[in-house]
Structures are given as C-alpha cells and as structure tokens.
Structure 1
Amino acid sequence: MEYKYVVLTNTTIGVFMAVLDSNIVLISLPTIIRDLPATTTFDGLWVIMGYTLITATLLLTFGRLSDLFGRVRLYNIGFAIFTLGSGLCSISPNGISLVLFRLVQGTGGALVFANNAAILTDAFPVTERGRAIGINQIAGTAGSVLGLVAGGVLTAYLGWRSIFWINLPVGVFGTAWAYTRLKEIGVRTKGEKLDPVGNGLFAIGLSLFLLGLTLGALTGWSLAYEGVMVAGLLSLLLFVYLERKVKYPMMDLALFRIRDFSSGIFSNLLASVSRGAVSLVLVFYFQGALGLDALTAGLLLIPFSIAFVMFGPLSGFLSDKYGARSFSTAGLLISSSAFFWFSIFPFGASYGLLVLPMILAGAGAGIFVAPNAASIMNAAPVNRRGIASGMSSTLVNTGFLLSLGMAFAIMAASVPISTLQAIFAGVQVQLDPTKLDLFINSMRKIFLLMGIFSLVAAVPSWKRGPRGAKRSEQGGVD
C-alpha cells in the first residue's frame, strides 16, 4: 500500500473515533443527566463543552509542538491519551468526574486534530488533497451516523457507560498501527519556542467567557457572572494584542495576510457557529419535548449525516479541479436556507417535514467542509502546516462552543429553568402547553440566528481566490 493511503486510512480512523464519540455522548446526554449520580444540567452541558474547550485551547500549542518535534509523534501520543480518557469516562462515579475525564479525552483529541490535516497534507500532492480530506471528513461523518445509532442501542440495552467502551478496541488498534506505520516526512521548524503566555490567556479568556455565559443563563444573571464574561473578553483581547508582539506567537497572525487562508479560516469559524448547536437542540427536542428514547432520536437524526456523506467526497473531488470558492460558498448558502426553514416549523410537525431541512443542512455542510479545509491547508506555507492546521481546528472548536453557549443562553432566557431541566434530562413529563411553546419559540430563535451566521460566512468564503493559492510545492510521498 502506498504511504499516502496508509496515512489516509489511519487518520481516518482517528477522525472516525473522535466524531463517533462526540455523537454517542450527545445522543446519550439526557440519559447521563438523569442516571449518573449528582449530575446537574450544568454538568451535562459541560460534558460536551469541556471536551471541546480543552481541545480548542490546546490545539495551537500542539500544532506548534508538532512543527518543532514532529507531527506523527504527537499524533501517536494523542491516540493513546484519547483511548485512556475513554476508559476513565466509563468508570465515572458522578457528573464532576465525568467532566474531568472528558478533559483527558479532549487532550488526546487535540493532539489528533492538531496534526490530522497536516499529516494528510504532507502525504498527498496538492492535486489530490481535496479528495483525500473529503474522504477523511466523510469517514468521520460515517462515524457520526454510527454514533447516533450505536449510542441509542448501547444506552438502551447496556447503559450509558457502554458508549465509552466502543472507543477502547478502536483506540488500541489505531495507536498501535500509527506507531508502527506512520513516519515523519513533514518539514520541521527549528529554533522556535512555545508561547505559554498566549496559550494561557486564550484558555483563560475562552473558559471565563463560557463559564459566565452558562452559569448566568442557568442560575440567573448577576453582576458577578457578567464580570466573569467581561474578564474573559478582556483576556482574549489581550491575547490578540500580545500575539502581534511576541517573536514566536501561539497563533501566527502573519498567516492571515494570505487571502485564501484568512478567507477559509473566517468562513470556517462562522460556519461552525452556525451549525454547532443544531444537533444538540434537535436531541433535546426529540427526547425532551417529544419524549422519544435515545435510540429513536438517534435514528431520526441520521438523514443529516447521510446527506453530508453523499455530498462531501464529490465536492472535495470537484474542488481539486475547479477551485474551492464556488463549492464552499454554495454549501454555506444551502445550509443557511435550511436553518431559516427550521426557524418556521411548527411544534408537532410531521417527521417528513422536518427531514427535508435536515437533509438540506447536511448537504450544505458536506459541500462546504472538504473544499474549505483543502483551501486552507494549500494556502499555508509547508513549514507552517502544523500551526495552520491547529489554528483552523481551534477556531472551528471555538465556533462550536460559542454556538452551544448562545443556544443555551437563548433557551434559558425564554424557558423556566425547571422546564428546561426536565427537557434536558429527557424526562417524560406533561409539560404546560404555554411553557412548551416557549421552548419551541426559543428553538426558532436559535435556528434563525444560525441561518444568519451561515449567510454571513458566505462573504469571506467568496473573497478567496477563484482557483486557490498557487503553491510551488506539490507534496506527497510514495
């Protein structure tokens, strides 16, 4: 087997496992909140957000480390840590411990995601990267489909702890295979140092902002929570200021001078904000408002992922020939129309009506992701691919977190907390029609906002070059 296909297969396993775990946890979250001792709605939300937060805050540092010490080396370590974290999650005694063990998982996930696209880019020539990244992304989405079904089946028949067991054999196999077959072929950067101050400011700023947002939404706004959010924003502003001054910044702002890179990064961030909370909102709608079980809810969400799988590889393949701009922009516009459609659906609408915007949203995401990712990596200089990959993944995760935080804040501002907690726990209760209507109205507001973000994301997407950056190197190795 040619080395580039070894790389594609192994990195695909890594993405598959990480995305599988994400959707398994998502579909099982109401059961976890209900069954795990001493677990609050706040704990349940941070089971999802904590994993993504630790991933987002470590990605850039790990991207820098990979440029210095080797991408494959850190990728291998990440595979092992993610597998260990999965085992720990399965034995969590309470909600707080599950959140902490998810942070271990997130650390491993950060090592995998920080190097995944860079290792692929090193192995494939520029004319094949869109297709390779498309296949990689689609396999990950296949993991999301399996995660929805497997999460429902495992939770229903073996309990929620079993959702973490599935990672163990895949993780052990993937770790061993990566260690024995992958090799360092990327260009290492020599003489550069880490940026601990920048990394600390970014982590503290993002953590404080999200902590203040979720606590304020859940327990009621106060000057203290608003102060925490302001402190977080100030830390992030200070981070941006200092990154322009230090010699070896955590986030290489000089890359934003490359038009294709900056266009792809900003459209990626906005697209992530637009779609980050969609699955979470629909899970709570199906399990909380409609009272469906985890398996049924998982099956109902599958059309989104199937549409992504159908359109992603084709979009990646065509973008290699015709450029990323048209495909990525069209994907965002399609997703926007789907979210606007969601924003007007009535409560109790037939599934046949709901499935149409789900398919449209999945198709739009599939058309957008692979061309945009390839465009970003093609635009990055060969010796900056590690940090470029880390920056891209960091902003995607940041957008996802902001999407979750905004969605939760909108719901908490519109729905009584007791009703919201019952919905989040998936408890079959006779909800007051007035309160249930408040929840549905909050969903409509969320989807309307998501549609606007997707529409705005199309602007930077269209501003990239029509055929992408012209790179002198071709990359790839046999």
Structure 2
Amino acid sequence: MVAVTPQDGTRMRYAWRVCAVTSLGLVLIGIAGSTLNVALPTVVRHFRADALESGWILLSFLLVNTASLVLFGRVADLLGRREVYLAGFALFTVASLLAGLSPGVWFLIAMRVLQAIGAAMILANGTVIITDAFPPERLSQGMGVYIGTLSVAQLAGPTLGGLIAETAGWQWIFWVNVPAGLLALGVGAAILRKMPRRPKEPVDALGNVLVFAALSALLLALSTAGSSGPTSPVVLAGAGLFVVLVPLIVLAERRAPNPVLDLRLFGGRLLTCANLASFCNALARSALILVVALYFQAARGVDAFTAGLSVLPVPVGIGLASPIVGLLGQRISPYALSIGGAVMSAAGLGTLMLTADPGTPYWVIGIGLFVAGCGSGTFLTGNTTQVMRALPAGSLGVVNGFRVMVMNVGIVISVGLSLSVLTASVGPQVRAQVYAGTLSTLSPVAVGQLMDGFQRAYAVLFGVALIGAVLAALARQPQSAPQSAPARRDSTSR
C-alpha cells in the first residue's frame, strides 16, 4: 500500500480546484457552440441570411479558432499559461456581449471571430493546466471529469438554445455567455496559481504567420467547396496557397531556433496515429448535433426547442461515459479506451445511416445518438490521456495546441462536408430553406431528396469513424516512451 503524504493531499485538493475552473471554461465554450447549432435557423431568419452567410455564422468561429490554437499554445508557453488563459475569458465575454448587439449578419460574423480568438486562448491551455496539476497516476480521473463537462455544455446547450430562440430572442443566445464568462474569469483569477514560464526566447514570428496563413487558406477552401463547388476561384486559390505554404513551413520551422511548430515532436508513431485518430473522431462526431437538429426542423417541421430535446442522447452519452472511463483509467489503459470509444462511435453512426428515413421512430434515432455519444466520451478521455502522458513538459503547450487544432480541423471539415452533402441533394434554389428549418413546409419531394442526403452524410461519417478506430489501434505506446511524468511533477513543485 502506498502511503499518502500531506503534500500529496494538498496537491490533489488544488488539482481538483483547477479541474473545476478549467471545466467551467469548457462548459462556456461548449454551450456557446451548441446553442447556435440548434438556434441557427432562428438567427438566419432574423437576418434574412442567404446560404453563404448562414454557413459563415458557424464556420467563421471554427476557422479562426483552429488557425490560432498553435499560436496561443506557444504564446502561453512563453508569457504565462494563467495569464493567457484568463485573457481568453475576458475577450470571449466581451465578444459575446457585442454579438448580441449585432446590427447585421457580417457584424455578427466579426464578433464570432473575436469569440474564436478568446476560445483559442482557453482551449489551447485548459488541458495543459490540468495535466500540470494532476499526478500522472491520477490524470485519467481529472481528464475524465474535464471531458465529461463537455457533455454538460452539450446537454444544456441545444435545449437552452432552442428555448432561448423560441422565447427570449436570438440575442440571448450570446448574452448567456456574459455572466458565465465573468464568473469563470473571477474564479480562475482567484484559484489558478502562476505557472513557471519558459526562459525568454524569441518568438517564431515567421512560423506563426506561415502556419496561420496555411491553415486559413486550407480551411477557407474546404468550407467554400460545399457551397461554391470544388472548381470555384476561392477554393482553387485557397488550396493552391496551402500547397505552396506547406514546404515553406517545413523549411522555416527546421531553421527556427524556437519553432512554433516543432516538427520533431510529431515524428513518432504514437503521436502521429493518435492525432490522426482524434481528427477522424472529430470529423465523424462534430456535425452530428447540427445535422440531427436540422433533420428535425427541416424534415419533420418541429420547433427549435423540440429539436434541442431530440439531440440530448449525444451529450447524455458523453456525460455518462467520460467520468466512468476516467475511473476505469486506473485499470484499463488509455490505448484500449481509445479503441473501444472509436468502435462505439462508428456503431452509433452506422445505426443512424441504416435508419435515415422520415418515418423512423424517435427511440431508434435516440439509440444511435446515445451510442455515438458514449463512444465519443470514451475515446476523448482515453485519447487525450494517452497523448498528454507521452509529452515532455517543455512542449505541452504547443503540442496540445496542435492536438486541439487537429480536432478543430476535423470539426470544420465535418460541418462543411455534412452541410455540402445534405444540401447538394435538394438543389441551390431551396438550400436556404434547409438552413432556415422551413423545408418541410415547402415540398414533400424536397424532403425526400434531403433524406437521401442524410443517408449519404451518415455513410461518409461512418466510414471516417472506422478509419479512426484503425488509427487508434495503431497508436500503441512504444517501449521506449518519453519519461515525461517526472518533468511534469517537477514543474508543479517549483
């Protein structure tokens, strides 16, 4: 039996307080995303937005958030993780307040960009702060709770978004973030300790610019391909710029003394396969709530609140699986949990693919959503723990930023790909009716065509989920794993 020292008890009390603060941040970001997924038709109708504007209300946040994650991971390594983390809360809160005051759709999109920058400052650092606070042998428990709070956000978000859209007005979709953001900022400032900074080093300005430009070009091309086609000038220009910038990034980062993206950290099989598996899982799951919410509103004609209730099995599954898996993490390896979660996610999506029909009973759809949610909760906890355990302490920030960035690229592609497949089946003349949630009142024939789109979208996501399961199986810990645990323990004791 291992004796528990007073120092261990003090550290665990602080670790759980840190977990509470960072989980609150994840709830804030999760609610902000999931409320708009369900309430998007209400916002679209208010601004009379066309299909391009409707897509950018969602994609502007994802594009900027994804492209800036690595930057803020590196900035936090150098300037202080606590300071950058709290500044992200402040920016996100102000942007949410202004978003509710938007006079037009493009002002709203601009505020979504500011929200994305604040969210990147939060997301790039939350996981690292938890990893630094918990002993390695207890990390899976903390990570299970942290990931589980995402389900709280997703559980409350769709229902809250639908209720707000139907009663208080679309502005409150953003204003509900303000008191939560102020609370998170105050509690975080009171609880989080200053973390040791890395020695002052010159920032890799060229690398930052090149990485941001490349990601922005790629994600712009991917998001535009669905609405404008793969041969549109924007898609071709974005893809071409990305192809040109990638070798320049490799060359610049190899020569930089302090690269923003240290390519040597991603050469091992574990990190490569684990990050690719995370990408596939994000791509397979992330548009699920949005797609199902559109299904219930556009195909079945229900209101936003009812649609929010209909997608609850996904966050319920995540909420049940994540903390349970966190406890099992002391007996079952994160590697095994990652594989099991990826397989469950594929099973849930396969169920939805086989039952894509307007007459499908609600309980059948609910089973598919619940299994997919359980799989996501299991995979996220196992995969995140597996990656964070394998990293040296000095690179936690930038590698975690890269990890979250990879997931967000999957989210962007998932949203763009799913919406593209869905709307391609009904034609451009009624595409806006899908986003507005009014297709069911327009044409039964169009609804039937849309269901073909749903089935094809689920088939694509199901295939991606299976690839993710294979990659998770390949992400086996090598025998000579980096001994990063002592380094993390030392960093918290200084």
Which bin holds the TM-score, normalised by the shorter protein?
A: over 0.9
- Equivalent of residue 7 in structure 1, options 18, 22, 34: 18
The CA RMSD measured in Å over matched residues stands at: 2.1
Residue identity in the other structure for 1:211: L
Residue identity in the other structure for 1:134: G
Does 2:310 correspond to 1:295?
A: no
The 3-state SS of whatever aligns with 2:153 is: helix
Equivalents in 1 of 2:90, 2:261: separation in Å? 26
Out of 52-61 and 413-422, give the one that drifted further.
Answer: 413-422
Contact 1:202/1:239 (8 A) holds in 2: no
Deviation at 1:199, TM superposition (A): 2.9
Out of 426-435 and 122-131, give the one that drifted further.
Answer: 426-435
Does 2:286 correspond to 1:276?
A: yes
- Name the structure 2 match of 1:89: 99
Equivalents in 1 of 2:447, 2:401: separation in Å? 41
Residue identity in the other structure for 2:341: G
CA 1:412–1:228: 2 relative to 1, 3 Å? farther
CA 1:80–1:156: 2 relative to 1, 3 Å? same
Equivalents in 2 of 1:149, 1:335: separation in Å? 23
Equivalents in 2 of 1:392, 1:239: separation in Å? 21
- Name the structure 1 match of 2:27: 16
CA 1:175–1:279: 2 relative to 1, 3 Å? same
- Name the structure 1 match of 2:139: 129
- Equivalent of residue 242 in structure 2, options 233, 238, 244: 233
- Equivalent of residue 452 in structure 2, options 419, 438, 441: 441
Does 2:181 correspond to 1:181?
A: no
Equivalents in 2 of 1:465, 1:413: separation in Å? 39
- Name the structure 2 match of 1:165: 175
CA 1:6–1:224: 2 relative to 1, 3 Å? same
Residue identity in the other structure for 1:296: T
Equivalents in 2 of 1:210, 1:466: separation in Å? 31
- Equivalent of residue 109 in structure 2, options 87, 96, 99: 99
Equivalents in 1 of 2:470, 2:201: separation in Å? 35
Contact 1:322/1:467 (8 A) holds in 2: no
- Equivalent of residue 218 in structure 1, options 227, 237, 244: 227
Residue deviations 1:316-362, cap 9 Å, x none?
22223331111110110111121122112122211011111111100
Does 2:134 correspond to 1:114?
A: no
Equivalents in 2 of 1:130, 1:15: separation in Å? 17
Equivalents in 1 of 2:41, 2:206: separation in Å? 38
- Name the structure 2 match of 1:401: 412
Deviation at 1:236, TM superposition (A): 5.2
TM-score normalised to the size of structure 1? Answer: 0.94
- Name the structure 1 match of 2:62: 52
Deviation at 1:410, TM superposition (A): 1.9
Out of 193-202 and 131-140, give the one that drifted further.
Answer: 193-202
- Equivalent of residue 193 in structure 1, options 167, 185, 202: 202
- Name the structure 1 match of 2:360: 349
- Name the structure 2 match of 1:388: 399
Does 2:232 correspond to 1:204?
A: no
The 3-state SS of whatever aligns with 1:349 is: coil
Contact 1:204/1:235 (8 A) holds in 2: no
Residue deviations 1:2-60, cap 9 Å, x none?
22122111111100111011111111101100112x52222222121111111111111
CA 1:213–1:124: 2 relative to 1, 3 Å? closer
Equivalents in 2 of 1:464, 1:211: separation in Å? 30
Deviation at 1:140, TM superposition (A): 2.1
Deviation at 1:205, TM superposition (A): 3.0
Contact 1:201/1:235 (8 A) holds in 2: no
Deviation at 1:232, TM superposition (A): 4.2
Contact 2:439/2:447 (8 A) holds in 1: no
Contact 2:294/2:435 (8 A) holds in 1: yes
Residue deviations 1:198-256, cap 9 Å, x none?
33333333333343444443245545244224224314533552334433222222111
TM-score normalised to the size of structure 2? Answer: 0.91
- Equivalent of residue 262 in structure 2, options 252, 257, 269: 252
Deviation at 1:403, TM superposition (A): 1.1
Contact 1:323/1:467 (8 A) holds in 2: no
Contact 1:335/1:361 (8 A) holds in 2: yes
Contact 1:284/1:426 (8 A) holds in 2: yes
Runs of 5+ in structure 1 lacking a partner?
none
Does 2:308 correspond to 1:335?
A: no
The 3-state SS of whatever aligns with 1:35 is: helix
Out of 420-429 and 307-316, give the one that drifted further.
Answer: 420-429
Deviation above 6 Å: which 4+ runs of structure 1? Answer: none
Residue identity in the other structure for 1:227: L
- Equivalent of residue 266 in structure 1, options 276, 281, 300: 276
CA 1:413–1:57: 2 relative to 1, 3 Å? same
Equivalents in 1 of 2:254, 2:352: separation in Å? 41
Contact 1:324/1:467 (8 A) holds in 2: no
CA 1:206–1:350: 2 relative to 1, 3 Å? same
Q: What number of residue pairs does the alignment pair up?
A: 476
Deviation at 1:467, TM superposition (A): 9.3
CA 1:12–1:239: 2 relative to 1, 3 Å? farther
Contact 1:56/1:397 (8 A) holds in 2: yes
Deviation at 1:422, TM superposition (A): 0.4
Contact 2:220/2:235 (8 A) holds in 1: no
Contact 1:49/1:401 (8 A) holds in 2: yes
Deviation at 1:102, TM superposition (A): 0.5
Contact 2:89/2:184 (8 A) holds in 1: yes
Does 2:463 correspond to 1:452?
A: yes
Residue identity in the other structure for 1:55: N
The 3-state SS of whatever aligns with 2:441 is: coil
CA 1:395–1:213: 2 relative to 1, 3 Å? closer
Equivalents in 1 of 2:384, 2:103: separation in Å? 39
Equivalents in 1 of 2:333, 2:431: separation in Å? 45
